[in-house]
Structure 1
Amino acid sequence: MMRTLFALALIGYTASACSETTEVSDDLQNSQTDIENPTGQTERVGTSPGERPVRIGEGGPRFDACQGMGRVADLREAELEVLIAPFDRAKRKDALSIGQFVHICSRSHDQQWLGIVYAPAEDTDTIDCGVSTPVRSKRDYDGPCKSGWVESTFIKLVAG
């Protein structure tokens, strides 16, 4: 009887010790006013209709805001289109050259599109995009670098 009670107490203690979680807020309203918001923006400025902002912090507060690095590769065209949303018919926002490095921050549900953050080609060595350290909660990326959506086929993972 005593062994049974001891075993039940041990199981209960073990289960409670393993249940520790880190809660990550996905509340856009609260996350945009987060103290780690580098630009202090509290509303979206300059977004186009149909635009889907790139989200950072998807991995939680213990990981970098963007968890991977990639390089543009294997293009069929001279440049890779950066779109405002993860859809074939989304409006073009920018273009990247082969070899250009990007931060991989999020993915579409079908894994076909990557939400990326990247420095303008002329500033790749001088600008810090602010995504190589953790953020407190998930939120839309709001600068200082550019962001958008690209086909995952043309990004080779170089660090993750």
Structure 2
Amino acid sequence: MKTGIAVIAASALALCACQQAPADGSTETPAPEERTTAPADIAVPAETVPEAPGSTDLGYAGPIPMPIRVGTNGADMDSCASYGEVSGLNPDGDNYLAVRDAPSTQVKERNRIGNGHGVHVCAEEKGWYGIVYDIEGDSGIDCEVDSPVEQPRNYTGPCAQGWVSKKFVTIVAG
């Protein structure tokens, strides 16, 4: 009987040790289906957006979330190379631009932004822009992407991030 309890306790400890901290630095770990970004210390190559292994068990069958990388243009350039505004949305349609977890329509929509919303364009991938943006549009928050960083890294600043279809963003600077 004691051996069975010891095996269960050891298994539980092993599972707990496999948990990862969330990318936002908080101590609360969301359930796998609630996670919205990859951990900040894991870089997903921009060339691929792989399928999540075993993801059908979690009810998720699309590409895994892909964090926004900043500083990829060199140490002497701004963290994000361009600034743009959402434009061209159909006012008779949905009239919003879906912000997604990866450059694909097969991933979770994390937010919606409207015409005129300003975004920092930090990455580009197959018809998508990786953006950093003030969730309110223009609340005055410094997203901390207007200065260089020493080495490329995943964005962990105070603003929101995600992927949007580039056909609905007009570059206005950079």
Unpaired stretches in structure 1, ≥5 consecutive residues: 1-41
AA aligned to 1:132 is D
Unpaired stretches in structure 2, ≥5 consecutive residues: 1-20, 25-34, 39-51, 53-63
CA distance in structure 2 between the partners assigned to 1:92 and 1:125 by the alignment: 22
Q: Structure 1 residue 54 and structure 2 residue 68: aligned?
A: yes
Note the 1:12-31 alignment, pairs <5 A: none
Q: Deviations over 1:34-66 (max 9, x none)?
A: xxxxxxxx9734536711001100101000000
AA aligned to 1:44 is A
1:70 corresponds to: 84
Report runs of 4+ in structure 1 exceeding 6 Å deviation.
none
CA distance in structure 1 between the partners assigned to 2:72 and 2:112 by the alignment: 25
Q: In structure 2, the residue corresponding to 1:121 is in which secondary structure?
A: coil
AA aligned to 1:113 is W
State how many pairs are aligned: 116
Q: Structure 1 residue 44 and structure 2 residue 23: aligned?
A: yes
CA distance in structure 2 between the partners assigned to 1:51 and 1:88 by the alignment: 12
1:14 corresponds to: none
Q: Deviations over 1:114-151 (max 9, x none)?
A: 000000116x2321000000000111001200000000
Q: In structure 2, the residue corresponding to 1:86 is in which secondary structure?
A: coil
2:140 to 118, 126, 131: 126
CA distance in structure 2 between the partners assigned to 1:120 and 1:43 by the alignment: 20
Pick the structure with greater CA Rg: 1
2:157 corresponds to: 143
| TM-score, normalised by the number of residues in structure 2 | 0.63
